[in-house]
Chains A and B, each alone.
Chain A
């Protein structure tokens, strides 16, 4: 069959490269879009969850009898009521559906209830009597490996010893060393965990839930309910943001258990406080680094030790550690590397996926090291980075050669050269601390710095990573079925652009994302859906196009090579034949396609291997004002350049760059879940500070580097995560630049600036 070009279509609807608008934009601005929190059923009950107030305890007894007797209460379930798999987990099932004998973190679910009103559910939860025997929590990750196991699977989730190059020859002449720490960040999507389970007549269950990966949830839910997967149907309910928080199971199994038990639809919607306890967080990290370089700034060797706190259960800890280790050196050429990475179990809140996935933590550290090295060398930090910047054909520290694009120098140069557009603050509101504080302009110092980061796109280490999509063309209307979770990133917009680009149709219908009608699309994470589900939609459409043109060629006795799709119809370039798409597709054409990226391989015992598919790079430059007396930081400008492969939708791309930078800024100066002895001190938006419109400066896009990535559909790289990686490092570095302080920890707290001598516990 002949190859079909994709560039000869013309249509009015926005295609690839244009700022197409979201198809769900209008319902969202009208307040009509149905989020998972908005689901309703006339016959529904409300579910609630009893959570452990203790980070570590043995459960002596649970008495549910008083709760069961209460008005409006329909069911109370504990681990005794489970008859499926009692454990779940994304990579490794080690987390109890409901606590069985022990609780290992504060907030661990112990019992669930269904009642006619959430207030009655809450009162019933209070009536459940649990007797605990308290255990001293293991809260220091440094002690985890020596401590007594707090879980049958032990306290070590994973350890990687990465050794690259020849260690002896490359001891450097210039050496800088540092210890760094990253606090626990929360994804804090605005929509809390919520959903509805409805028992079905076939003895199965329908679950409507906000999630990042329907099929992975489905498989875990089915195992825990002891049902065949085809009896468990998951459909995506409107998702109020995700950022990694929805990659793991939260209330999914609980909803289904209560629905099966009561025979009624069950709704659950976490409160904000419960949400802080109810999903995994970004891993806190403790990192030690030693960089070696020649006097001209050429890196010769990097040594590092990375310790991530995985909290009580495995979640995606193992993959997060792989990322932290593989990307620990930053986007630089280093001939010799030795890294020890470990991620351990503690009685702290479980940690897992968050935008940037292991790369955020090490970026903060390796960029601080590069700054230190620049000072030690008396060299311009931009020049130092450029001297060592990775290029295509270079090897990263896993020994993998970069076969795709790597415009590292380009992102650094464009970002560094972009003119700054900020003057000095003219109003009190613009000073650090804003209206409410009394910043004195003469205590304000300004700083500026650049940082560079990179990350893998898609899943790594040999994972069978794929996405499935089907395309049906009927009466000139295309219908796409794909289980890709739209979480706000705009895949729904892009899918329509792809279909229009290839099939030249105006109307593109997107079927609901569900496990009921199509195979897995994989997770909406790892910056992978544009490439993976975009790739699946693209290849399904291309096959539809081939079949359509062949069919027309055959029916009308035309040369298939001469046919083009143009202006909503098919025309022949060699005759005056033309037919509208509507007429040409009175008989439907339907194709389902599964897209896979090139295979990757596990890391060997030295942390070496072709474990990754592709890499994306970004640079941020931050300008900050710091009130040295009050320790307050105001980020006044962020400038960024990003390696994007190809721009598919400029407007959505800009939204990703701005939104990601905001989360990076948050980690640099505002956001931390404060955990003391395993307890979260600030599980609320009152005490966990998200950047507001007053905290967030304009984000200037210095350059979008468009070097098409070989093998990537349309040449486009995923763009979601890099903005959240180098932004934190840049802001932290700018604060160091402003204050001259050796700030080794993010988020930077006012006390770190005012009382630097107190050190890390200031």
Chain B
């Protein structure tokens, strides 16, 4: 045990971590100490993407990041997507497209796809497949997930065009 106290900034809020083991991963601390259990733990060895979060806007597997090393960085988790009372467009597309079955892969995929669409609002099929190839889903065979991305990306493109034409 270490008695060190450190602060993590998650979804814009500061959290104090007290009495953490120095070996604890960011995923563990998020889930067990900060009670943000939206990030999932399907492998804890960097292979499934269920623990995907953003670290200063970049995609990481939080199971591979030591919690203490994330001090001073901006952490975004599934809990930071959408707003208090409204889910984000990608979240809604997931529900509507049937991209959720058991849902264990869902939070990690949503974080990855949200980041993808923010940097590339209109990705082609292969780009999407490549972007989510680090996120395993055992239930869906990915078909409805890809459909959800298409829906969200079409909506964003339509919106952008609308804004441009205004």
Contact = CB atoms under 8 A, between A and B. Distances in A.
Interface of A: 19, 21-22, 24-26, 28-35, 37-38, 40, 117, 119, 187-192, 238-243, 269, 271-272, 427, 429-430, 435, 487-490, 651-652, 654-655, 658-663, 684-686, 690-694, 696, 698-699
A429 B128 CA distance: 12
Contact of B133 (A33, A240, A243, A693): A693
28 contacts: A22-B95, A22-B98, A24-B100, A30-B38, A30-B79, A30-B82, A30-B91, A31-B36, A34-B37, A35-B103, A37-B41, A119-B23, A188-B138, A189-B102, A190-B104, A240-B40, A241-B101, A242-B102, A272-B42, A429-B130, A488-B102, A652-B98, A654-B98, A654-B144, A684-B47, A693-B132, A693-B135, A693-B146
Nearest to A665: B141
A124 to B, nearest CB: 15
Contact of A190 (B44, B91, B136): B136
Nearest to B50: A190
Nearest to A723: B141
B163 interface: no
A30 B87 contact: yes
Which of B21, B103, B133, B142 is most buried by chain A, counting CB atoms within 10 A of its CB?
B103
B95 A240 contact: no
Contact of A490 (B45, B77, B101): B101
B29 interface: no
B54 to A, nearest CB: 14
Given A663-B141, A698-B143, 15 more contacts: A22-B95, A24-B103, A29-B110, A30-B38, A34-B37, A119-B23, A190-B50, A240-B102, A429-B126, A430-B126, A490-B101, A662-B142, A684-B43, A693-B145, A694-B130
Contact of B141 (A26, A427, A661): A661
Contacts of A26: 87, 95
Contacts of B145: 693
B153 to A, nearest CB: 15
B156 interface: no
Interface in B122-137: 126, 128-130, 132-137
A190 B102 CA distance: 9
B102 A699 contact: no
B115 interface: no
Given A29-B95, A31-B77, A37 B143 contact: no
A191 B106 contact: no
A427 B127 CA distance: 11
The 7 closest A-B pairs by CB, nearest first: A31-B38, A488-B102, A28-B103, A662-B141, A240-B104, A31-B78, A658-B141
Interface residues of B, number: 59
A194 B140 CA distance: 22
B35 interface: yes
A693 B142 contact: yes
A40 B34 CA distance: 12
A21 B48 CA distance: 26
Contacts of B101: 241, 488-490, 655, 659
Contact of A32 (B23, B38, B95, B96): B38
A28 B44 contact: no
A35 B108 CA distance: 15
Given A25-B100, A241-B104, A488-B102, A117 B138 contact: no
A655 B137 CA distance: 12
A190 B105 contact: yes
Given A28-B100, A189-B138, A659-B140, A686 B106 contact: no
B23 A243 contact: no
Contacts of A191: 40, 42, 102, 104
A241 B102 contact: yes
A660 B141 contact: yes
A24 B102 CA distance: 9
Contacts of A29: 87, 91-92, 94-95, 100, 103, 106-107, 110
Contacts of B71: none
A661 B7 CA distance: 45
Nearest to B125: A698
A37 B44 contact: no
A648 B145 CA distance: 21
A187 B31 CA distance: 25
Contacts of A33: 103
A693 B129 contact: yes
Contact of A35 (B32, B40, B97): B40
B39 interface: yes
